[in-house]
Structure 1
Amino acid sequence: MPAISIKGQNMPESPIRKLVPFAEAAKKSGKKVYHLNIGQPDIPAPEVVTEVFKNSEIKHIEYSHSAGNESYRKGLTEYYAKYDISLGVEDILITTGGSEALIFALQSCLNPGDEIIIPEPFYANYNGFAVTAGIKVKPILSTIDNGFALPPVEEFEKLITNKTKAILICNPGNPTGYLYSQQEIEALKAIVKKHDLYLFADEVYREFCYDGATPFSTLKLEGVEDNVVVVDSVSKRYSMCGARIGAVVTRNKQLMQTILKFAQARLSPPSLGQIAGEAALKTPQSYFDNVVTEYTQRRKTLVDGLNKIDGVVCPNPGGAFYTVAKFPVKNAEHFCQWMLSEFEFEGATVMMAPASGFYATPNQGLDEVRIAYVLEVEALKHAVKCIEEGLKAYPNN
């Protein structure tokens, strides 16, 4: 048969989904599986979204402008204004999820063979996006010992070569939940300005910050406006993962014109998703207040529960709804698979994501897992108990 492309061979598997066959088999055998492997919130989408479709008289599902509906983009400028971020409609382009936003940005800013620095562990699909764009990820290690804080500026400087064109961060972070401070963002600004790099910021978890903290957006940085590119999405903010609506935001006019060419090549973002996204902009603040309260309780349930288990280390994340925990095992991927295929406690087991897949450096995170606290509190309590009993019974410690 014809050969598979090198790019296809290099495309990594998803650590979030690779154990799905084992979870499906567990369910067929009668086990209840607590899904803590994927960031799929169980919180309902805002009523303003569901109501717009209930009352819709749509007769034609038409193409939109390649940059997205202007009314939606105007609505987004008003949304950002609430965070004291001033933008024009021309600074926002609607995409098919945040994934497409980042892929468009990477292909517009970097040439094949160029390098991008990303603090690891990072959202696993960044590796796949880099393969798609033909670029090289240069990881910079953050560690569980300090909760995955931003590595020192000196460590970034060591990685920069004439091939380095960008730095990418996620804030608040997936998979760690770490929330970068304004001081850390300003430190990145200094590097970006010194070496004239792009700074990509995935800010899709902006609404989910805890303990009174507020996120500092890279769009507030002064003096590097043409260097900053933000990726955004409705997926987690409004529990609308399947709507597949994101946005790329930059004040760099030449870059936006370039991104638009990629957008035109794929015609338009989803029309129904844009209708949902625009409706979601009318979501009352009380919705987010309730969601943050709920996630705060879930975080406490999970983090406190895990840290009570002998040998487990779990930092308290400042945002998003993930944490990376260190388990007393040699190979967390084998443990996660074993939990699904060989173990059950009171008829249930847990699906987690091995954290090694969130690193680009080989043999990092082998004893770590990413856990998404996207289930209600009682389910999380049962899941933590399953993990505790699983660690006791696991034969390969």
Structure 2
Amino acid sequence: MPNISTKGLSMPESPIRKLVPFAEAAKKRGINVIHLNIGQPDIKTPQVALDAVKKNSITTLSYSKTEGNDSYRTKLATYYLKHGIEITAEDILVTTGASEGLSFVIGSIADTDDEIIVPEPFYANYNSFSIAFGVNVVPIVSKIETGFALPSIADFENAITAKTKAILICNPNNPTGYLYSEEEIKQLAHLVKKHDLFFIVDEVYREFVYDGKEHYSALKEKNIDDHCIVIDSVSKRYSMCGARIGCVITKNKTLKNTILKFMQARLSPPSYAQIASEAALDTPQEYFDEVIAEYVLRRDTLIQGLNKISGVKVISPQGAFYCIVELPIKDSDTFAQWMLEHFNIANETVMVAPAAGFYATEGLGKNQIRIAYVLDKETLKRAICILEQALKEYRLNED
């Protein structure tokens, strides 16, 4: 048999999806699986977006422009302007999801064995994209004891080497729900300019901020135009995960032209999905107000329930719709699989994402899980009860 590539063998399994075969087997046995493992909201997609696809008069579904439809990028620039972010359509490159955007960015800024500094835990695909391009992730540990706040700037500076190309953060953070403050963004902006690095900020969850707090975009930092790269997407904002439309935003013309070459190789982003995404920009503010209120209710339901479980540690998220939960067990991978294979209450069980896959440092996150609170309040309550009983039974036999 021919050999598989080293990159292929090194590619990690997704902590979000790797247990899917066990979940599917459970469903075949008649078990209802409550999915807390994946950020797929049950919120309805804005009708205006769906109608734009249903009612369009396209007769030939042709390629779009490589960088995305002009009308969509122009309208998207207006959206950012409403949020105090001054960019133009020329600063926006439309990608097939935020994932493709980040992948193209890494390919454009880093060579084999170069390094990108990322506070951990972080979205697992950051590691996957880096491995695909032969780039090394250098983790800076953030801890549950500090609410997963930004590690000290000294920690970042000490990690910078001749091979460092960028600092990458997600704001608000997936998987922790931490919201980086304006001051923290400014500190990182100063650092990347001082060391001539790129500053990549994943702002996919920028709309989901709670408790009266505000999201501060890295694009508001005027003195880092050549350094700043923002990744965004319609997936979560409009509950349009299946559209696969994202974007890269940068004012760095050389970088933009480089990313465009990667984009040309994949031809163009999806045409129908761009139509839906452009229409979604007309979604009224009332939609977001209701969605935010619903997520606050779900967050509070989840956190209050988890805090009642003996031995569980969790921090209330300030944004996005995830949290990292520390469990009184040794190995969350084994526990998560056990719940799918061997545990249920009234033919119902829970699927979670083991958190070790959100860390690059070996051994960290082994007793943690990530929960996505994207389901309704009553479902979350049932999930908490199942999780509590599962922990009791599992711990009796863990040793």
Q: TM-score, normalised by structure 1?
A: 0.99
Is 1:283–2:283 an aligned residue pair?
yes
CA displacement, residues 52-104 of structure 1 (integer Å, 9 cap, x when unaligned): 12222221111011000000000010000011111111100000000111111
CA displacement, residues 101-138 of structure 1 (integer Å, 9 cap, x when unaligned): 11111111111111000000000011110012211000
In structure 2, C-alpha distance between the alignment counterparts of 1:389 and 1:91, rounded to whole Å? 51
Structure 1 unmatched ranges of 5 or more = none
The corresponding residue for 1:309 is 309
CA drift of 1:28 comes to: 1.2
In structure 2, C-alpha distance between the alignment counterparts of 1:10 and 1:189, rounded to whole Å? 32
Measured on the aligned residues, the alpha-carbon RMSD in Å equals: 0.8
In structure 1, C-alpha distance between the alignment counterparts of 2:19 and 2:132, rounded to whole Å? 23
CA drift of 1:355 comes to: 0.3
Counterparts of 1:213-228 in structure 2 under 5 Å?
213-228=213-228
The corresponding residue for 2:324 is 324
In structure 2, C-alpha distance between the alignment counterparts of 1:183 and 1:364, rounded to whole Å? 28
CA drift of 1:222 comes to: 2.2
The corresponding residue for 1:396 is 398
The corresponding residue for 2:231 is 231
The corresponding residue for 1:346 is 346
The corresponding residue for 1:271 is 271
CA drift of 1:346 comes to: 2.3
In structure 2, C-alpha distance between the alignment counterparts of 1:30 and 1:67, rounded to whole Å? 46
CA displacement, residues 1-38 of structure 1 (integer Å, 9 cap, x when unaligned): 11111111111110100111111111111111100000
Q: TM-score, normalised by structure 2?
A: 0.98
The corresponding residue for 1:151 is 151
Counterparts of 1:135-214 in structure 2 under 5 Å?
135-214=135-214
Q: SS state of the match for residue 338, structure 2?
A: helix
Is 1:366–2:372 an aligned residue pair?
no
Amino acid at match of 1:258: T
Do the aligned partners of 2:26 and 2:341 also contact (CA within 8 Å) in 1?
yes
Counterparts of 1:112-123 in structure 2 under 5 Å?
112-123=112-123
CA displacement, residues 318-354 of structure 1 (integer Å, 9 cap, x when unaligned): 0000000000001111111111111111221100000
Counterparts of 1:34-183 in structure 2 under 5 Å?
34-183=34-183
Runs of 4+ in 1 over 6 A off after TM superposition: none
CA drift of 1:265 comes to: 1.2
Query: Percent same amino acid among aligned pairs?
Result: 59
Is 1:252–2:252 an aligned residue pair?
yes
Amino acid at match of 2:159: L
Structure 2 unmatched ranges of 5 or more = none
In structure 2, C-alpha distance between the alignment counterparts of 1:257 and 1:97, rounded to whole Å? 19
In structure 1, C-alpha distance between the alignment counterparts of 2:204 and 2:96, rounded to whole Å? 14
CA drift of 1:387 comes to: 0.4
CA displacement, residues 283-303 of structure 1 (integer Å, 9 cap, x when unaligned): 100000000000000000111
Q: SS state of the match for residue 102, structure 2?
A: helix
In structure 2, C-alpha distance between the alignment counterparts of 1:339 and 1:213, rounded to whole Å? 36
Amino acid at match of 2:197: L
Q: SS state of the match for residue 318, structure 1?
A: coil
